[in-house]
Amino acid sequence: MFKKTVFIIMVLILPVSISAQTSLPIVQSLKFAHVYSQEILVIMPEVIKAQADLQSLEKKYADEIQRTTDEFQKKYQEFLQAMDSLPQNISERRQKELQDMSQRSQQFQQDAQETMQQKQQELMTPILQKLDNAIKTVGEAQNVIYVFDVSRTAIPYINTTHSIDVTPLVKAELGIK
């Protein structure tokens, strides 16, 4: 009976032991990589051009907002100076004009902000896609399981000493020095 029990225990334990030993090399052979995408983005020519385009557009909007603000201030000062000498209906009409100008100016500022956000997304989407494609290409070439983006990840901890830094390889893939 004792031999039979020992035999059954050995039969049950042996496969578990063999399984654990065969999966260990698989775990040890897993390769991980990390990349600092922000380091790459700040030197990509496409990003530099996109930033210049956005700054140019932002300046145009800022100039237009300043022009309308100056125009409003001028009309408002004229109204304040002439307010006491104007008949009531003209005074009300000018007040309405000033309110309309103010509302149009606020609407323009909102529209400008939305347009800037859309333009930024329009310019950055293909750039980020190009970067992601380069990261994928390098990851496949390095035969890694994952490439963690240290700049854009929400992962609270990445031990970079146990993974490959592929940032230089991604730069090379993109033709950046």
Q: Which two tokens stand for residue 110?
A: 């909102």
pLDDT tens digit string along 1-14?
A: 655 554 555 555 65
The residue ranking higher by pLDDT, 22 or 131, is 131
How sure is the predictor about 159, in pLDDT bands with cuts at 50, 70 and 90?
A: confident
First and final CA of the chain: distance in angstroms? 74
The Cβ of residue 5 has, within 10 Å, a number of other Cβ atoms equal to 9
Residue 39 and residue 4: Cα distance in Å, rounded?
A: 65
All structural domains of the chain with their residue ranges: 1-26, 31-174
> Would you identify the CATH topology of the domain 31-174?
Protein Binding, DinI Protein; Chain A (3.30.910)
pLDDT, position 162: 83
Question: Cα(44)–Cα(65) distance, rounded to whole angstroms?
Answer: 31
- Which pLDDT band, with edges at 50, 70 and 90, does 151 fall under? confident
Residues in CB range of 141: below 8 A, 6 or more apart: 169
CA distance 5 to 11: 10
Would you place residue 84 in the very low, low, confident or very high pLDDT band (cuts 50, 70, 90)? confident
Give CA separation, 69 vs 54, 58, 64, 112, 119, in Å.
22, 16, 8, 15, 24
